[in-house]
Chains A and B, each alone.
Chain A
């Protein structure tokens, strides 16, 4: 039986779970092959490659910063920092979601990391969203727990000899990952102090929805 290069065999990139503080510290991007269309990966400081991310946070601000056409910028806050998302005409679904959402609101975002260099020569990282949907506080809490766990898993693999992305991360960002462990713990502790129903955090009372088990009554 011969192997074929059918598109089905190209596997979809997994959506990494990463808190805003770690995501925003990342700046180094790379490809695994010379092919022009090969996927670009952002190297996470805890030693993982990310071509796609999934996160849930509070949309606190949105603004159309476009000149000729719509170009929406959203600030989405998690327990550790702020994600910046940009969506324009080539992300019609995400752009229309940003147009219609009223902050503050809990949103789930699937998207691709993008880096750009500022005039000062700093590398900034943002997200080009594939989708943005409004979700409940319970979903947001689940994401925090899941992301803490994934972060801890990456940290516990950080010193494995065979972990090539950890080796790359040490070269690019240094070998001290204790800060990410600390923010993961702080994020988890922030959940413990909220009420048992996964309700509002830090006074975002107006965004808290009841746990929604049946989204379409």
Chain B
């Protein structure tokens, strides 16, 4: 098949639900633009596609794109990409608007991602715990968090394979450049299932309560190119700093001030290099595994790189 023929076939396929056109006539139109009018093929394709869009009276996002890419959910890192997924429906949530037919969580080996299906797309409903091949879904981004939107071109195929859903684990390395406020010895709301961190003895939900002490670190790890927010829970904080919760309470009591614990932690960890592995939760990486990178530093590889440029 010639290049033009391939493009013609793809365009014809995109409009198969909307227009009665043949590959031959699409190819003729492309041919005319490319050979007679010397238009580059990408531009020719765009122009032909646009004329069919207006013939069909539809918008660009209503036709399927050729060649959406097969990806894993945790690899999605850009807005408005057309992708194919093999996923399990992990969880369905209550839609907050009539325009949304389904909303919930899809997962594959790499992790989970939110999905939305709109009522106007008239798609079959997905069922919890079932595994699917989803073709032609579009990625979306909101405040750094990614989701996928199903749309009217999306095809849903139920599959028998059982998908093991991963935890979006990520490994980052870099220097620990900040220990943020809210780190160290904190108090949490004791109400069942709340665990909110208290501000001046108050829970945002339950008001003044008798809080329970906990330890955590909100840190920033930075490799000179990217910045990551990392959370160390109590267990991780104790392992990282060697300060146990009881000791932290004692430190705070002696100083009549809880901030001494965070100060102590800062002295212990700021400016060192760490490797941290854990699931991502919004913008945070939860430090399930970590180690300090204590070298010895190996200059060889960088020297070779430096001498080669």
Residues of A within 8 A of B (CB): 1, 3-4, 6, 8-9, 11-17, 52, 54, 56, 93, 107-110, 130-131, 133-136, 138-139, 141-150, 152, 155-156, 181, 184-185, 188-189, 191-192, 196-198, 211-217
Contacts and interface: CB of A to CB of B under 8 A. Distances in A.
B256 interface: no
Contact of A138 (B142, B243, B295, B309): B295
Given A15-B177, A110-B177, A215-B268, A145 B309 contact: no
Nearest to A212: B294
Contacts of A141: 295-297
Nearest to B264: A216
B226 interface: yes
Contacts of A17: 224
Nearest to A182: B306
Interface stretch (B4-12, B30-38, B50-58, B269-277): B269-277
B294 A152 contact: no
B270 A108 contact: yes
Contact of A198 (B140, B283, B295): B295
Given A149-B302, A191-B297, A216 B224 contact: no
Contacts, number: 142
B175 interface: yes
Contacts of B271: 54, 56, 107-110, 131, 133, 135, 139
B283 A8 contact: yes
Given A143-B175, A191-B297, A3 B142 contact: yes
B2 interface: no
Contacts of A214: 242
B299 A188 contact: yes
Given A1-B142, A130-B178, A215-B242, A152 B268 contact: no
A142 B307 contact: no
B306 A213 contact: no
B306 A184 contact: yes
A110 B241 CA distance: 20
Would you list the 6 A-B pairs with minimal beta carbon distance, nearest first? A108-B271, A216-B242, A141-B297, A188-B299, A138-B295, A17-B224
A141 to B, nearest CB: 4
B225 interface: yes
Contacts of B263: 93
A181 B309 contact: yes
A3 to B, nearest CB: 7
A135 B268 CA distance: 9
B298 interface: yes
Nearest to A196: B296
